[in-house]
Amino acid sequence: MISVELARKLREAGLRWEPRPGDRFVIADRGMDDEVFVVSHMVVDVLEFPSGGRVLGFNGTVEWALDSVEQEAALWLPGESRLRELLGGAFVRLDRTGDSYRVTLDVDGRPVEVDDDQAEEAYGKALLYLAIGD
């Protein structure tokens, strides 16, 4: 998952989010930056009974103090597949380079390489490069 800091930079650079099931996000700047939420059609809870039994409970909604928030309050944390999708035809490859990852882009016929310790961060930084340039 990309960092909240990189997600902020991507949003500031103009990245727009069309939520899909499986997308992760945080409610930024409300003391909830560390609480990651996932878009889902249905909530499944693990319920444990005093007897030691465990079931998976399927719920249409969960009662909680936070009923809804405006999409603009949510900060999208795009995953690897969505980042690759957003890179589009500029994406050439992802390589492992020792302890880090390198995303190679084709930008107007020239290779651009972006490195990070995490693959998703490298993808996100590559997307930021495409959005704002050098």
Structural domain span for residue 25: 4-132
For residue range 62-112, what is the model confidence (pLDDT) as tens digits? 555 556 778 888 999 999 999 999 999 999 999 999 999 999 999 999 999
For residue range 3-50, what is the model confidence (pLDDT) as tens digits? 999 999 999 999 999 999 999 999 988 887 788 988 887 777 788 888
Element spanning 76, H or E = strand 74-77
Domain count, the chain: 1
Element spanning 56, H or E = strand 54-59
**Distance from C-alpha of 46 to C-alpha of 92, rounded to nearest angstrom:** 41
SS3 124: helix
Q: What is the pLDDT of residue 66?
A: 57
| pTM summary value | 0.82
Give 56 or 62, the one with higher predicted confidence. 56
